[in-house]
Amino acid sequence: MRIGILAYDGCFAAEVFLFSDMLRIANRVARQRGVPAADLFEVSVIGASDSPVAAAGGFPIGVRRWHHGFDLLVVPGFEFVPAEDTDARLAGWEREVDFLRAAAARRTRIASVCVGAFLLGQAGALDGRRSTTSWLYASQLGRRHPRTTVCVESLIVHDGHITTTAAFSASLDLATALVREHLGADVASITARVTLVSENRTSQAPYIVEAMVPAAGGPFADEVGRWLVEHLQEPYNLSRLAGEFHVSSRTLLRRFGAEAGRSPLAFLLEARVRAAKHLLAATDVPLGDIPRRIGYQDPGALRRLFVERVGVSAAEYRRQFRRPRPPR
């Protein structure tokens, strides 16, 4: 399988080489398992010319001039901050975008890592498709490209010949998925164990830091949201909520939905999950006491909601993300 990794000025070198090195190790494992040489990965790092590109931080990466003879193109992400002007950031990569547009028109398989999805979006390759990117930039990708459905919590999204993945380390998940598809589950499992890479991550939801997600509300939705958070332990009552803001239930739903893009109940469920994550990671509150603290009399209801929204159980979340306590 011929794979071209598209390197360009400002890309993350690690996302180029994590992916390529993972496939190199998989090739070694595959040889030991008797896989024919013709079935192994052939990986090239490619660019707009034969001259090295300057990755993020100024590190040079040697490349081969690109062409359209690859079975898969991989687009790494780049150094980006949420407040940065996206148009200005993408303006310097017109050649890369044109190359990806032509590849997508040929129905070449293309995969992006993290904010590499913005280059695919610029090339029109995400139109009418599901996609993902880092949770930190998901809303920005959705606003910029409204014809794509951004699956915020997904780690990898396949839609036709286009694949998008979540943040930085998702290059390893992409490589593992490709090894599993092309060389088999046995080679993928051994490669993952040799490299200490998880082979069963399916969601980026456990890693989302809600405080860093850009707010998408307005003044009315913000006021209603604050009231809901202050009354987190109380049962949800739409009529009471509307009365607190001196509007009808219908008006409250309409105004809140227009500003926040979701219902007050959906906001409340997100706030309860956020509160549970805080209690699990930053406190010693016993697992059995957490439901009552955030408005659930039935522990099973929170348990189901947490697994549905976060992708792991509350106990597993605490095990993975509990912050170390300072010594007394």
pLDDT of residue 18: 96
- Ordered by where they begin, the domains of the chain are 2-206 (3.40.50.880), 215-321 (1.10.10.60)
Q: How far is CA 75 from the centre of its chain?
A: 15
Contact 187, 30 (CB under 8 A): yes
Reference 212, options 85, 313, 81, 309; nearest CA is 81
In the numeric block, which tokens belong to residue 299?
Answer: 């522990």
- In whole angstroms, give the CA distance from residue 176 to residue 184: 10
Residue 139, φ and ψ in degrees, nearest 5: -65, -35
Mean pLDDT by 10 residues, the chain (328 residues): 97 97 97 94 96 96 96 96 86 96 97 98 97 91 91 91 95 96 96 91 77 70 88 92 95 90 87 87 89 89 87 88 68
Q: Where are the alpha helices (DSSP H) in 71-218?
A: 86-90, 94-105, 116-122, 138-144, 170-183, 185-195
pLDDT of residue 200: 77
pLDDT of residue 322: 84
214-223 LR contacts (CB < 8 Å, sep 24+): 214/82, 214/139, 214/140, 216/139, 216/260, 216/261, 217/259, 217/260, 218/258, 218/259, 218/260, 219/259, 220/245, 220/255, 220/256, 220/259, 221/255, 221/256, 221/259, 221/260, 221/267, 222/259
In the chain, the N- to C-terminal Cα span, in Å, equals: 56
Distance CA 186, CA 190 (A): 6
pLDDT at 29: 97
Q: What is the pLDDT of residue 328?
A: 54
**Per-residue confidence (pLDDT) for residue 218, from 0 to 100:** 83
Tokens (6 digits) for 321: 């993300």
d(CA 153, CA 203): 6
Tracing tokens 């490669």 back to the chain, one arrives at 191
* Distance in angstroms (rounded) separating the CA atoms of residues 221 and 227: 10
Q: Are 108 and 161 in contact (CB under 8 A)?
A: yes
Q: Looking at residue 216, what is its pLDDT?
A: 56
**What is this structure's pTM?**
0.75
